[in-house]
Chain A
């Protein structure tokens, strides 16, 4: 095994010189990084939360979204959605303390996700305005499969946790050890594998509903 590694490195060395000193490589890299800002699609012009709301509902992402004033209003928003889609109120509730403390009376909730779950309700770590992406870090309070198994996924996201650009998200976790999974979720699952025709709900959720909580004015 280490033989293989050595052989590969030797093969690289045959063509390339020995690696430059780390500071040289780092200097070259920082020059490259300095060019990033000028290459980003110039689109995050307004406040991040507003751009985010617009992006997630744009045809490319095609999620549905709404804004509520505070977390207390979230269960009602979930119930409205469930009624609208005829879903019943048996909810897989992401085991997040901020969700558990809300008043879910009127619904049945469970804190695990089943293989054929109809409706899961969760809380994203944050979002990215540029792309309209939700971000999840896997953990005890954020199991990965919540974002992948249900047919309908309703996700709350505090407006303050919306970063303008993908790089802004990256910067805020730089140097920290990564969770097992970082998931960027950008719209519902889809496939174009049969004749290029877009169909939602390939393996992951067929519907994604995003609820932005709070706004700068409040």
Chain B
């Protein structure tokens, strides 16, 4: 059993995981469905969103240059990082220069992707995750299992235990309300005491140099306003030409993610504190990170760079909903993860991800920017086949199958022979065990074939006419 299948086995055996996944994703799917039903223009908006992102990606150099120039005008300091490691070094460097003892972080998938939490800890800087789910994950010493609800795998009972162990004066913790209020009390002083606040960016606004964050809790603003320094880490694909396009993207993103029309807090951050401002950081840094984006571009995965990180594809994925996010063994789970991870981590170690997919297409259907996820997933299978990663037994089975499929007469001979053998394994119409069919019959019965092949029977009938 390989590592992926080991994680799958563990996930499927977990007594609470499926319940936890269902509680969140079922709500997410029904809320999204209601939001889309109330938006008859969704199909057109989705195409527009797709085209807007494609426009930006096709003109990435142009818009990056524009963004940099405008961000500098707001007083932001721009940094460029080729790799995740480079990005982490830049962030840690800024923290050290600011003599930071404590940093607050507002959830950013890019941060997770590049290993920023670890880098901060390694540098001896206290890291406080402020998104409630990330806070839970941090207390549990785990990694996110979903890109919108990182702690989705935790039941309320498990969260209660964590808070009881780690919070000061947690109170009763009998209800989710009490848990949220305990987190609010425990994080409040941390927000105000942090030296540096780190956020991601949902959008980079090219024509103003602002960056956009969206949260429902209000933790992004509490992370970025009180500290002396605000650092943004953002993937270079996050660009939109202007605020106008950001509005279209927000309509798509938020409905797809949570079913709301807009997040409670949608904020455009431009530079540090301005003259006269009562609050805000003195320094504002933006780290623009490649970390594999240009490689994806070169690998024919440009469409993947449209991704808004809304999570709809995983909420609707039958595989994700059984095995959860951790089984994917990477930062990004679900269908989008199965496309991104082979590019970021290499196909050899992640070849199971594109293979463990039924190609049912629901992810594509719900994706707010129409990323053809099944096509891209199948593209990885093609690469895996060409590079010889397909397990030998299935590769040979397929080659033998192809050999016959191209030789109809032999095919019919072989097939009718097999059809005569199969019933030998049957009991009352069904086969519950048969050599070479364990993958099927471990969990399901196989109906016995009805008799000779259709072509053979048809030929007989025609002859009898």
**A residues lining the B interface (CB < 8 Å):** 1-2, 4-5, 7-9, 11-16, 18-20, 22, 25, 28-29, 32-33, 35-36, 38-42, 60, 95, 112, 115-116, 130-131, 133, 138-140, 143-145, 147-149, 166-167, 170-171, 174, 177-197, 199, 201-205
Q: Assuming the A-B contacts A7-B82, A131-B261, are A204 and B38 also in contact, with contact meaning beta carbons closer than 8 angstroms in the complex?
A: no
B18-49 residues with Cβ-Cβ distance < 8 A to A are 20, 23-28, 38-41, 44-45, 48
Return the contact of B280 from the options A20, A115, A180, A188 (Cβ within 8 A): A180
Chain A residues near B216 (CB-CB < 8 A): 189-192, 202
A37 to B410, CA, bound (A): 60
Chain A residues near B161 (CB-CB < 8 A): none
**B172 at the A interface (CB under 8 A):** no
Q: Assuming the A-B contacts A116-B188, A133-B262, A194-B132, are A181 and B44 also in contact, with contact meaning beta carbons closer than 8 angstroms in the complex?
A: no
Chain B residues near A19 (CB-CB < 8 A): 59, 61-62
Give min CB distance, B447 to chain A, whole Å.
39
Chain A residues near B64 (CB-CB < 8 A): 9
**B222 at the A interface (CB under 8 A):** yes
5 residue pairs A–B, Cβ–Cβ below 8 Å: A16-B61, A183-B267, A186-B266, A194-B136, A194-B154
Give min CB distance, B340 to chain A, whole Å.
17
Residue of B218, B243, B244 contacting most chain A CB atoms (<10 Å): B218
Chain B residues near A184 (CB-CB < 8 A): 262, 265-267
A3 to B55, CA, bound (A): 26
Give min CB distance, A83 to chain B, whole Å.
23
**B441 at the A interface (CB under 8 A):** no
B198-253 residues with Cβ-Cβ distance < 8 A to A are 208-210, 216-219, 221-222, 225-226, 236, 241-245, 247-248, 250-251
Chain B residues near A42 (CB-CB < 8 A): 40-41
Return the contact of A180 from the options B44, B61, B262, B277 (Cβ within 8 A): B277
Chain B residues near A36 (CB-CB < 8 A): 48, 244, 247-248
B78-113 residues with Cβ-Cβ distance < 8 A to A are 79-82, 86
Q: Is B295 a contact partner of A11 (Cβ separation < 8 A)?
A: yes
A5 to B188, CA, bound (A): 38
Chain B residues near A95 (CB-CB < 8 A): 278
Residue on B nearest A55 in the bound complex, by CB? B261
A191 to B148, CA, bound (A): 11
Give min CB distance, A103 to chain B, whole Å.
24
Q: Classify chain B: how many residues form its interface, as a range.
A: 35 or more
Chain A residues near B225 (CB-CB < 8 A): 144-145, 148, 181
A1 to B288, CA, bound (A): 11
A115 to B189, CA, bound (A): 8
Q: Is B184 a contact partner of A202 (Cβ separation < 8 A)?
A: yes
Chain B residues near A41 (CB-CB < 8 A): 38-41, 251, 261
Q: Is A195 a contact partner of B221 (Cβ separation < 8 A)?
A: no
Give min CB distance, A218 to chain B, whole Å.
29
Chain A residues near B20 (CB-CB < 8 A): 195
**B residues lining the A interface (CB < 8 Å):** 20, 23-28, 38-41, 44-45, 48, 51-52, 55, 58-62, 64, 73-74, 79-82, 86, 130-133, 136, 149-152, 154-156, 159, 176-177, 179-181, 183-184, 187-189, 191-192, 208-210, 216-219, 221-222, 225-226, 236, 241-245, 247-248, 250-251, 258, 260-274, 276-280, 288, 290, 294-295, 297-298, 302
Excluding A2-B80, A140-B276, A204-B265, 9 further A-B contacts by CB distance (< 8 Å) are A32-B51, A36-B48, A60-B261, A138-B277, A139-B277, A145-B279, A166-B251, A181-B225, A186-B266
Give min CB distance, B32 to chain A, whole Å.
12
A84 to B164, CA, bound (A): 33
Q: Is A201 a contact partner of B294 (Cβ separation < 8 A)?
A: no
Chain B residues near A188 (CB-CB < 8 A): 264
Chain A residues near B130 (CB-CB < 8 A): 203
Q: Is A196 a contact partner of B217 (Cβ separation < 8 A)?
A: no
A110 to B217, CA, bound (A): 26
Q: Assuming the A-B contacts A180-B277, A194-B151, are A39 and B298 also in contact, with contact meaning beta carbons closer than 8 angstroms in the complex?
A: no
Q: Is B80 a contact partner of A183 (Cβ separation < 8 A)?
A: no
Residue on A nearest B135 in the bound complex, by CB? A193
Residue on B nearest A202 in the bound complex, by CB? B217
A138 to B224, CA, bound (A): 13
Chain A residues near B262 (CB-CB < 8 A): 131, 133, 184, 186
Q: Assuming the A-B contacts A16-B60, A178-B74, A202-B180, are A140 and B132 also in contact, with contact meaning beta carbons closer than 8 angstroms in the complex?
A: no
Give min CB distance, A86 to chain B, whole Å.
17
A116 to B136, CA, bound (A): 22
Chain B residues near A15 (CB-CB < 8 A): 294, 297-298, 302
Give min CB distance, B223 to chain A, whole Å.
9
Chain A residues near B159 (CB-CB < 8 A): 194
Q: Is A12 a contact partner of B294 (Cβ separation < 8 A)?
A: yes
Give min CB distance, A2 to chain B, whole Å.
8
Chain A residues near B132 (CB-CB < 8 A): 191, 193-194, 202-203
Q: Is A39 a contact partner of B48 (Cβ separation < 8 A)?
A: yes
Chain B residues near A38 (CB-CB < 8 A): 41, 44
Chain B residues near A138 (CB-CB < 8 A): 274, 277-280
Q: Is A25 a contact partner of B221 (Cβ separation < 8 A)?
A: no
Return the contact of A39 from the options B45, B152, B184, B209 (Cβ within 8 A): B45
A14 to B294, CA, bound (A): 9
Q: Is B267 a contact partner of A204 (Cβ separation < 8 A)?
A: no
A188 to B357, CA, bound (A): 39
Residue on B nearest A136 in the bound complex, by CB? B267
Give min CB distance, A43 to chain B, whole Å.
9
A180 to B267, CA, bound (A): 10
Q: Assuming the A-B contacts A60-B260, A148-B218, A196-B28, are A12 and B61 also in contact, with contact meaning beta carbons closer than 8 angstroms in the complex?
A: yes
